[in-house]
Structure 1
């Protein structure tokens, strides 16, 4: 395929599905054997699993993995084997990332220029104060697991009372000033989540993952190029605007980054449904046919967050029903042949869970069978027995 050939939505959708495993399960060990490498491979292919709600990340990973993987395996990879890290990823939101890739993520995320602060001037941290806080967080967490209250005490002791001023409005409460850059510590590789202590989250420094050591200008540029190439491998063809939206990066900076990569021969321009877009250099092979199959994907699954253009991924009624103000991820989605074709919700009671699916298209007998298998798989991942019901999903976003 040459760069002047047109790449169709069907071809792009099919390749994305293959590479991120909604098209079929990835090898990830067995239920009885080690899953360290396999689950990290799945998360790497997704470019991170959104984990603000951990159960959603467990489903994202579990439905892609082979061998009866359940949430227990995901938690073992996270807390015991440490092949996964729970930290702040794209858009400053909580993600599971492969531990081996944390230095690459750290280099890329810290290179993104900071946008304007959403806080009033009297609430903001200066650049110098922000740097002090990030350093203090790393020092406080080195070899320790601290709750948020304990970490606040340590940060204030290492910086000054200004860091502890409760001036940040958040969830009908006021947070201490230092927390506005907490995600930056995650990006810098000086903070990640630890196992809960009772009902309280803990934080530690992920020294085992090797992030946060810094790099020279050339190494930083090479890391950025690698980072973008891996994103394009998963979600290409894509435009700089698509990448900027996924990462919450400034459009001008992203455009310049793609221009530099093109000049270096690291990306190739292609025609994606009549729009100029990019793939990683040499990565121009696409399937002949469209994606096939039925899948259930949870809240904020990477496939629907990063998949662009959004109006093609959410065609027709799906755009209204499965998005919230144009934002993807607020509803778990039914994927049919690579596009969103419904929403779903699961309600657990003890060891049983009811999976209610609201299709927006007429399903064939084969697709209904696949849907039943998918509901069973969701239950298996969550270590529950699933019952599937076809009907209206009455709950709203984030329910």
Structure 2
């Protein structure tokens, strides 16, 4: 293959274009843009809205809220690097399959010991998350209470109530938990399969290829 000589301005222009930062995409391409850039980092929701507005013409925080809670075309969950992202609903099975195949810290002895858990506790928690949550939003406190009651692991309470969500993240990697609309100052969780309705499983081998 022949070498291609590029100037730094050409390289930088290409990178800006790939991120849709050279010129805003049409408003009706919002989901396509989010998909192409592999989601919006959403540890701070206002930052996610700002990142979208920089890439999509006339995109507003209200557009983000509508896509998340009314249209359900965007989903907020723990994904890459264990951080919160907004991802298109259609892409969620792909990201879940990749996370399930690659993010397995929660099965390491050191991680389990730090949280005072056993591998059996974690397996029971994942099953509880899968079965307890539905498309009806549930606060963190409500979810934690039901999990502890179902699996009898009172030592999970503190970790489940932690704002860091460290113990909750493995459930996100398995596609068992994502965020629902807040109830006042309280965040809520729902079960992605029920929340989205149309879930097409993706093979892990394909997701990480």
TM-score by structure 2 length?
A: 0.85
Q: Which residue of 2 aligns with 1:160?
A: 152
Q: 1:60 aligns to what SS in structure 2?
A: helix
Match of 1:223? Answer: 207
Instruction: Map 1:325-340 to 2 at 5 A.
Output: none
Supply the distance in 2 between the matched residues of 1:221 and 1:120 (Cα, whole angstroms).
27
What per-residue deviation string (whole Å, max 9, x for no partner) do you get for residues 95-154 of structure 1?
100000001001111111424576572634333322221221121112321100000011
1:150 and 2:134 correspond: no
- Deviation, 1:188, is 1.5
What do residues 339-387 of structure 1 show as CA deviations (whole Å, max 9, x unaligned)?
xxxxxxxxxxxxxxxxxxxxxxxxxxxxxxxxxxxxxxxxxxxxxxxxx
2 CA distance for matches of 1:99 and 1:57?
16
CA distance in 1, matches of 2:87, 2:23: 21
Identify if the C-alpha distance between structure 1 residues 81 and 117 changes in structure 2 by more than 3 Å, giving closer, same or farther.
farther
Alignment partner of 1:187 out of 173, 176, 187: 173
Structure ID, larger Rg: 1
More strand as a share of residues? 1
The number of residue pairs the alignment matches comes to 203
- Contact conserved, 1:186 with 1:192, CA < 8 A, in 2? yes
What TM-score do the two structures reach when normalised by structure 1? 0.46
Q: Flag the 1:195–1:94 CA change in 2: closer, same or farther, 3 A.
A: same
**1:73 to 1:128, Cα distance in 2 relative to 1, 3 A:** same
- What secondary structure does 1:64 align onto? coil
Q: How big is the shift at 1:164?
A: 3.0
Partner of 2:59: 69
Contact 2:35/2:87, CA 8 A, preserved across alignment: yes
Equivalent positions of 1:1-399 (< 5 A) are 2=1, 5=4, 10-29=9-28, 38-66=29-57, 68-115=58-105, 119=111, 121=113, 123-166=115-158, 168=159, 175=161, 180-207=166-193, 208=196, 210-211=198-199, 219-225=203-209
Aligned counterparts of 1:3 and 1:158: Cα–Cα separation in 2 = 63
Partner of 1:252: none
Note if contact 1:99-1:209 (Cα within 8 Å) is conserved in structure 2: no
Q: Give the match's secondary structure for 1:181.
A: coil
Pair 1:84–1:117, CA change in 2 (3 A): farther
Which 5+ residue runs of structure 2 have no aligned equivalent?
none
Per the alignment, do residues 8 and 134 of structure 1 end up closer, same or farther by CA in structure 2, a change over 3 Å counting?
farther
Shift of 1:162: 3.8
RMSD between aligned residues: 2.6
